[in-house]
Amino acid sequence: MIVHVPPVLMYHQVDEKPQSTPIARVLTVTPSQFSSELDYLAAHHRRAVGVRDYLDALAAHRPTNDMVIVTFDDGYADQYTRAFRILRQHHDRATFFITTGNVGKINHLTWRDIGIMARAGMSFGGHSVEHIDLSQLTKAEQSQQIAGSLAALRAHLGTRPVVYAYPAGAFNRMTETLLAQQHVELGFTTDPQFEIGDLRRYEIPRIRVEGGMPLDAFGAALATPPARRYALRALPLQPPQRLQARQLTQPQP
């Protein structure tokens, strides 16, 4: 089966306060920026969805060509107080990748927040227990980070998460093996090397939406994501292997 992979947007924080460090400024969008970007998607007939919505559409053989997958990393508190509120105002959805060891800590989501968001249709995926670079860990350590975060989400949400995002985008072949053992369907990176060539199930690239990004730059990033130009073979889940991708013959919206 050939399936279409929509562009995947990556956000971190939504906050109107000026950020004090350069990295925080890049990772933080204002509520008005986020709202404008959702308006932009709607104006261009694109649906903002979570990964769960995408996988459900694939399973039901519904079209995915009008989808844009919205993701948030790290489980910051403003993802409930701001991002979730704005998503609901727009009738949109997103997936939140949670560093489970930080849930309930200062400036982070609580399990209560996550439960409310889940009941409203938001979906969740693993983002390790302690936000550690998986590629630097032993197999046992990686396994603990991956399985631990997925188990915590399952325990609190009652459903098994099937998606994972790598802290700092870093992973290795062992990561892919461990994700397959945990029945994870898709893994998301930020490493630009995966924006070209064949797509692999556990190497889905994402578009980083930066604080202060002009709307025309946002539109340009959406229009040219390499993932959009490829189709991904071999869903549903199979063991890790080179997934043969090829250029779509039909232009995608």
Which positions touch Zn ion (CB under 5 A)? 73-74, 167
Smallest distance from Zn ion to CB 73, Å:
4
Name the residue among 247, 223, 222, 245 with its Cα closest to residue 234: 245
Give the Cα separation of 222 and 211 in Å (integer).
Answer: 16
Instruction: Give me the count of residues in the chain.
Output: 253
Name the residue among 193, 205, 171 with its Cα closest to residue 9: 205
Pick between residue 125 and residue 240 the one whose CB is nearest to Zn ion. Answer: 125
Q: Counting beta carbons within 10 angstroms of the beta carbon of residue 220, is it exposed (0 to 12), middle (13 to 18) or buried (19 or more)? A: exposed
Smallest distance from Zn ion to CB 82, Å:
18
Smallest distance from Zn ion to CB 210, Å:
15
Give the Cα separation of 89 and 85 in Å (integer).
Answer: 6
Pick between residue 6 and residue 167 the one whose CB is nearest to Zn ion. Answer: 167
Pick between residue 64 and residue 149 the one whose CB is nearest to Zn ion. Answer: 149
- In the bound state, the residue with its beta carbon closest to Zn ion is 73
Smallest distance from Zn ion to CB 207, Å:
15
